[in-house]
Amino acid sequence: MVSTPTVEVAQSGRQYIATEVSASASPNQFLLPLTAQVNAQDHLEIGGCDVVDLVKRFGSPLYVLDEETLRTACRQYRQAFQKYYPAESLVIYASKAWNCLAVNAIVASEGLGIDVVSGGELYTALQAGLKPEVTYFHGNNKSVEELQYAIESGCTIVADNWHELKTLVALKPATPVRIMLRITPGIECHTHEYIRTGHIDSKFGFDPDQLESVFQYVSQQPELNCVGLHAHIGSQIFEIQPHGDLGSVMVQWMSKAAQYGLPVTELDIGGGLGIRYTESDDPPSIEEWVKVVCEGVVKACEAQGVPLPRLIAEPGRSLIGSACVTAYTIGGQKTIPGIRTYVSVDGGMSDNPRPITYQSVYRAVAANRMSAPATETVTVAGKHCESGDIVIKQASLPETESGDVLVVMATGAYNYSMSSNYNRLPRPAAVLVNQGEASIILQRETYQDLIRQDSLPERLIQA
């Protein structure tokens, strides 16, 4: 059973430990990674590692990534497709959520492919051992160099617009380039405006009105081998129906594309399944999401009398979001009587820009006093020179003091990947934990790293 606490406020850090995990529950429904426990020292333990010890060993702040949770989510996606889709399917990891060698290698070892959106993500994916046959290159403004690199690597390019189609043709590839066409399906879903992509007023994809002329054009270009269609309607979505509807809309477009002689046999329905960030978030499980997607496509294919396409999904957040926490160390506190208490930590918007960008709400626990009752509501502030640098506006915590380890939960997706060096803070390290072992997967940046790309013209060098 997924425990859905009835109160909005934590009683103690223990509240977030999953006590019973049913087979049908999935990682995106939990605030802490699946392996989270409280150990004899009353510390939070993840992947068999004491998080307080990890901070002592690897420094603070620290991203702690639980391998088992990530692998479980990968397997649940693959198994659900095998269960509900009678033809071939492929799950590709939307690596914008967190692209680095180790994460990419883990998802590849689980039999997933990868979605990349830049030359840099493509490079990292290939270096991690991803095969070009399962690598899909997205983006609304790929540069000529990126397109050339994608062609040379042999990955599939998800063409987003006319400019891109024409650039690909002009590049005169030696063999036809494997492409898919991204469509803006006009399906609305409820999520933050910045992370909605499938509505008509979107910078991504071909407008449905243009599609027939696009099909016509592509069918006449020997340089282009259009194998399928793609759509992505948004991110952090809790409703399932929009994805069910998406399947049927897309199948209709596939039939249309086939009428133009395009060899469309693949359908990529994007990602978007949400995760739990707070007690009141109630996302569907991976299996529930996959079931609706598959049923939508199968039903539409039957209705249209067309063969089942190879079905591709590209989740990001729901694969990795719940697998990671960020451990910070508490520094100073400031109480403004009658107003609030600020508890400051040693990171903030540079390692997690989501609160300041999307007003995202997170939950935290004091990792070195997991059983202590949560008696205070405080504001967890980052250390950046910016009033808006607030990690959690209203955090329900026990009394804390400087030196305590504060763990912010569900930081696996779009935290490291959107991190910056604002205020010249070095990026934190990341450790991968599994069965009591901790391995560094991202080194902590150093001050030398911060000036690595700086260049000081001779005339500015101080005598």
Span from 30-38, 48-56, 89-97, 448-456 in contact with ligand LLP (CB under 6 A): 89-97
**236 is a site residue for ligand LLP (CB under 6 A):** yes
* Closest by Cα among 258, 249, 173, 186 to 215: 258
CB of 354 to ligand LLP, least distance (A): 5
Inter-residue contact 138 to 158 (CB < 8 Å): yes
Q: Which one of 49, 226, 294, 385 is the catalytic residue?
A: 385
Choice from 197, 285, 326, 350 touching ligand LLP (CB under 6 A): 197
Q: Is residue 178 a contact residue for ligand LLP (CB under 6 A)?
A: no
Q: Are strands 44-46 and 113-116 parallel, antiparallel or unpaired?
A: unpaired
Interface region with ligand LLP, contact rule CB under 6 A, candidates 74-82, 271-279, 377-385, 436-444: 271-279
HSE (CB half, 13 Å, CA atoms) of 11? 7
> Which of 379, 380, 275, 364 has its CA nearest to residue 319?
275
CB 62 within 8 A of CB 326: yes
Judged by beta carbon, residue 66 or residue 404, the one nearer ligand LLP is 66
Q: Does 354 bind ligand LLP (CB under 6 A)?
A: yes
385 included as an active-site residue: yes
Q: Work out how close the CB of 269 gets to ligand LLP at its nearest, in angstroms, rounded to a whole number.
A: 9
Which of 142, 143, 66 lies closest to 436 in space, CA to CA? 66
Compare residues 316 and 382 and give the one whose CB is closer to ligand LLP.
Answer: 316
Cβ distance 269 to 249 under 8 Å?
no
Choice between 314 and 346, CB closer to ligand LLP = 314
Is 272 a residue that touches ligand LLP (CB under 6 A)?
yes
Does residue 368 belong to the site contacting ligand LLP (CB under 6 A)? no
Taking the complex as a whole, the smallest distance from the CB of residue 383 to ligand LLP amounts, in Å, to: 21
Choose, by CB under 6 A, the member of 138, 142, 243, 384 that binds ligand LLP: 138
398 is a site residue for ligand LLP (CB under 6 A): no
Q: How far is the CB of 363 from ligand LLP (least distance, A)?
A: 16
Distance between CA 165 and CA 224 in Å, rounded? 8
> Which segments of 284-436 are extended strands (E)?
310-313, 324-336, 340-345, 364-366, 376-381, 390-397, 405-408, 429-434
Q: Which is nearer to ligand LLP, 306 or 418 (CB)?
A: 418
CB of 10 to ligand LLP, least distance (A): 23
Q: Where are the beta strands (DSSP E) in 148-289?
A: 156-159, 177-182, 224-230, 266-268
Q: Which is nearer to ligand LLP, 13 or 234 (CB)?
A: 234
Q: Does 205 bind ligand LLP (CB under 6 A)?
A: no
Q: Is 351 in the site for ligand LLP (CB under 6 A)?
A: no
**All residues at 6 or more sequence positions from 287 whose CB lies less than 8 Å from its CB, including other chains:** 24, 26, 76, 79, 80, 83
Which residues are paired to 226 by β-bridges? 179
**Residue with smaller CB distance to ligand LLP, 12 or 235:** 235
- Smallest gap from Cβ 273 to ligand LLP, in A, equals 6
Looking up tokens 């407008």 gives 207
Interface with ligand LLP, residue 97, by CB under 6 A: yes
State how far the Cα of 84 lies from the Cα of 366, in Å rounded to an integer: 41
x/- map, 402-421, ligand LLP, by CB under 6 A: -----------xx-------
Amino acid, single-letter form, for residue 108:
A
Q: What is the total count of residues that contact ligand LLP (CB under 6 A)?
A: 23
Q: Are 430 and 459 in contact (CB under 8 A)?
A: no
Dmax (CA) of the chain? 79
Q: CA 15, CA 22: separation in Å to the nearest integer? A: 17
In 49-134, the DSSP E strands lie at: 49-50, 62-66, 89-94, 113-116
Q: Residue 409: count other Cβ atoms within 10 Å of its Cβ.
A: 25
Taking CB under 6 A as the rule, which mask of x and - marks residues 313-332 in contact with ligand LLP? Answer: -xxxxx--------------
Q: How far apart are CA 319 and CA 150, in angstroms?
A: 25
119 binds ligand LLP (CB under 6 A): no
**Is the Cβ of residue 71 or residue 182 nearer to ligand LLP in the bound state?**
182
| Binding of ligand LLP by 195 (CB under 6 A) | yes
Which of the residues are catalytic? 385
- Residue numbers at the binding site for ligand LLP (CB under 6 A): 94, 96-97, 115, 138, 195, 197, 232, 235-236, 270-273, 314-318, 354, 358, 413-414
